[in-house]
Amino acid sequence: MGKIIRIAGSLVEADGMRGTKIYELVKVGKEQLLGEIIRLNRDSASIQVYEETDGLSPGEPVTGTGQPLSVELGPGILTSIYDGVQRPLEIIQKETGHFMARGVTVSPIDKKKKWDFKPLIKKGDAVEAGDIIGEIPETKIITNKVMIPYGISGKVEWVAKAGKYTSDELLCKVKSGSKVEKVTATQMWPIRKPRPTIEKLAPEIPMVTGQRILDMFFPLAKGGAAAIPGGFGTGKTVTQHQLAKWCDADIIIYVGCGERGNEMCDVLREFPALKDPKSGESLMERSVLIANTSNMPVAAREASVYTGITLAEYYRDMGYDTSVMADSTSRWAEAMREISSRLEEMPGEEGYPAHLASRLAEFYERAGRVISLGKEGRTGSVSIIGAVSPPGGDFSEPVTQNTLKITRVFWALDTTLADRRHFPAINWLTSYSLYSDQVSPWLEKEINKDWTKTRVEAMVILQKESELKEIVQLVGPDALPEKERLLLEISRMIREDFLQQNAFHDVDTFCPLPRQYKMLKVILTLHEKAALALSKGMPLTDITKLEIIDKIARMKEIPKKDFEKRIDDMIKEITSKLG
């Protein structure tokens, strides 16, 4: 046991700490505040404390726990709301009131609840780490698979009968070497260490998000990592919310890292009310929220992204596609900076610690589509979507740049578009996805064989538009030939009638892939036919007067049941008016 010798903000130094390990979890002071050792020097340790340090005094005790900072994995995690170090906020509220109190120790999962366990193995079976011993229906849509923890393998000596058990009750005994290991539904895992897997696979299945600009032009693959940088007000959070609501992952881990309390409240309020498009059940049934708002302790903010990704890996190992939304990774980086500066470390670029790049890389590398441990060879994935909040909206700053080095999808949010209320304000010229080619075969097989062709055609028009716009700025639109003015008209339609999508409109908020394809196809058909008509001598003014253009402008709002027919009618109308 050591004692405090210095307190400066969230950093505490303690003496008499020899024997403790780096990254060990410690209890600080009389109030037993949670902390983690981040530097050791002979007898003394520097500790980052996950709670407010006001009122702490030198001389108060510090005790080691012998364990690194870990999360508890087991049934009951889904539907929970945690802070950055996996403390359940709802239970804390019940116990200590509306404001966050300090030194509260509450188990992250309900230990009293009895779960329905169904064994899938029998006595005498040989098991290894990752093997499933039984199932527990965790929520209405997700089945928790009880796995043999890492490091255990051997013969099953005993297994519990089907029935109701708490998460701590013995479910299975495994003779592992000379020892008999006890397996329950829960296991611990240190958050800073990736959970092991057998193999990483190439991501080739797109993550369907129902957001047109993302699915069509800049797709994310399941097991991929994407960065969304953008200045304030460009819609990072709305985009993250949309993805959390609509993407077709099985499990969503939403990490609100150093963000607004009212926004987290919006998520907390909205998720339970929203229906999962696949199962029709509440979205909460597949979600975990981690809320560490900007005014909650900075060190817990640093831990929150690791907590999130570890939970995601746990469900990935069961064979689920999971998705982590981290909003925002800049706050995490700033937390690192704050702690590093209190440690008086030599700063790197813009005061960020020199280890910033490697920490970001380690984090994003935990994404992937994998074969998990266990005999079955289950495939599961963790996708990461990290929001970045660059100061002044300037993407040349270290967090954005180091993130882009690792992530393969870049969704660039643009202040100019946001100011014009073009949402999602994702810039189509600067964004990119390196998964486009990898997921193309799947899209061509499942949706339409012309998917890639259509995407490329539309992108060429948008590219061409930006070149023409420069000319228009100099000489005015009248100076352009009619063919090019038609192209400007078409590109405007792609921007306004396809790329813009209203997150708050009942129909438009989620756009299935076949519908995306058709919408774009209509605009491109119009382009093709109009160009032909133009070359036959039809004046452009006659084309732009066509009623079909107004119809296309409203196609986003067409209810699902009428869509097929109305789109086919529109294509017919184009052919009859122009063909």
- Distance (Å, whole) CA 5 – CA 576: 84
- Distance (Å, whole) CA 13 – CA 343: 10
- Distance (Å, whole) CA 108 – CA 41: 33
Return the residue of 77, 291, 384, 487 that touches other proteins, per CB under 8 A: 291
The nearer residue to other proteins, 351 or 377, going by C-beta atoms, is: 351
Binding to other proteins by CB under 8 A, coded x per residue (else -) over 37-66, reads: ---------------xxxxxxxx-------
Q: In the 3-class helix/strand/coil scheme, how is 109-161 assigned residue by residue?
A: CCCCCEEEEEECCCCCCEECCCCEEEEEECCCCCEEEEECCCCCCEEEEEECC
Q: Does 393 bind other proteins (CB under 8 A)?
A: yes
Amino acid at 48: Q
DSSP class per residue in 505-546? STTTT---HHHHHHHHHHHHHHHHHHHHHHHTT--HHHHHT-
Residue count, binding to other proteins (CB under 8 A): 77
* Interhelix angle 513-535/560-578, nearest 10 degrees: 10
The nearer residue to other proteins, 83 or 313, going by C-beta atoms, is: 83
- Distance (Å, whole) CA 406 – CA 140: 36
Q: Which of residues 437-456 bind other proteins (CB under 8 A)?
A: none
Q: Which of residues 461-520 bind other proteins (CB under 8 A)?
A: 472-478, 496, 504
At closest approach, how far in Å is the CB of 502 from other proteins? 8
Q: Does 539 bind other proteins (CB under 8 A)?
A: no
The nearer residue to other proteins, 298 or 426, going by C-beta atoms, is: 298
CB contact at 8 A, 43 and 15? yes
Q: Which of residues 349-388 bind other proteins (CB under 8 A)?
A: 350-351
At closest approach, how far in Å is the CB of 188 from other proteins? 25
Binding to other proteins by CB under 8 A, coded x per residue (else -) over 208-247, reads: -----------------------xxx---x----------
Return the residue of 43, 394, 450, 568 that touches other proteins, per CB under 8 A: 394
- Of 107-115, 291-299, 377-385, 438-446, the window that binds other proteins (rule: CB under 8 A) is 291-299
Q: Which of residues 91-150 bind other proteins (CB under 8 A)?
A: 92-93, 97-101
Binding to other proteins by CB under 8 A, coded x per residue (else -) over 304-343, reads: ---------------------------x--x--xx--x--
The nearer residue to other proteins, 391 or 539, going by C-beta atoms, is: 391
Q: Which of 244, 247, 246 is nearest to 256 (CA)?
A: 244
Return the residue of 64, 223, 224, 256 that touches other proteins, per CB under 8 A: 256
The nearer residue to other proteins, 184 or 415, going by C-beta atoms, is: 415
Residue 266 token pair: 């919006």
Return the residue of 112, 421, 536, 561 that touches other proteins, per CB under 8 A: 421
Return the residue of 84, 258, 368, 398 that touches other proteins, per CB under 8 A: 258
Question: By three-state DSSP, how is residue 15 classified?
Answer: strand
Which residues 6+ apart lie within 8 Å of 452 measured at CB? Answer: 440, 443, 444
CB contact at 8 A, 173 and 148? no
Return the residue of 30, 43, 66, 90 that touches other proteins, per CB under 8 A: 90
Q: Does 262 bind other proteins (CB under 8 A)?
A: yes
At closest approach, how far in Å is the CB of 76 from other proteins? 17
Phi then psi for 425, rounded to 5 degrees?
-80, 50
At closest approach, how far in Å is the CB of 202 from other proteins? 36
The nearer residue to other proteins, 57 or 178, going by C-beta atoms, is: 57
At closest approach, how far in Å is the CB of 155 from other proteins? 45
Q: Which of residues 7-26 bind other proteins (CB under 8 A)?
A: 7-9
At closest approach, how far in Å is the CB of 332 from other proteins? 12
The nearer residue to other proteins, 261 or 514, going by C-beta atoms, is: 261
Q: Which of 534, 571, 498 is nearest to 211 (CA)?
A: 498
Strands 321-327 and 368-372: unpaired
**Cβ neighbours of 203 (radius 10 Å):** 22
In the beta sheet, which residues pair with residue 64? 26
The nearer residue to other proteins, 153 or 294, going by C-beta atoms, is: 294
Q: Give me the sheet containing 172-176, strands edge to edge.
A: 126-127, 154-159, 172-176, 179-183
